[in-house]
Amino acid sequence: MTLVGSTHVLRIALQDHPEVFREIEIASDKKLVDLAKAIVRAFDFQFDHAFGFYSKLTDPDVMRAQPKYELFADMGERDNSGSVKRTRVAEAFPEVGHTMLFLFDYGDDWRFIVEVIGRGEKEPKVRYPRVLKRAGASPEQYPDWDDDAEEYEDDDDKPVRSH
């Protein structure tokens, strides 16, 4: 299977809710930044934050594990990370069963488990990446924090409950 005509089929699941997932097929020669965009769009999010792919799936030290690929490397802020703009999907995900953590938006900490579940060949007249399967509703990227009915006073950081 040549890299130019091959595809990766990936299952991307919310780490804390694995029943919510998307299966995406992407050209194997595409870059990780293209995969990140496809994941974010498949979950109906805006592609408006930094992100990274990490080899460690859990643990407080996921960001220290190697290999890792971060947008920060492309911005010149990290020298121990691989580039998401230069690394191909096939390089970061070399075989079926390979998994990585996709961390999107370091502030809101959206964590997705990305697993290669198959390989394929590009079909003529098909646009990639494409979503093959959806399970579960997409979470809100920016949930309404007013649901708790908490307000903050100007000079104090302690929440005050509204009645």
Angle 109-131-9 from CA coordinates, rounded to 5°: 85
Residue 94: both structure tokens together: 């070399």
pTM over 0.85: no
pLDDT, one tens digit per residue, over 35-72 is: 999 999 999 998 888 899 999 888 777 877 888 898 87
| Cβ–Cβ under 8 Å, residues 120 and 1 | no
Q: Which residue has the higher pLDDT, 76 or 24?
A: 24
Is 6-161 a CATH 3.40.50.620 domain? no
What residue segments make up the domains of the chain, in order of their start?
A: 6-161
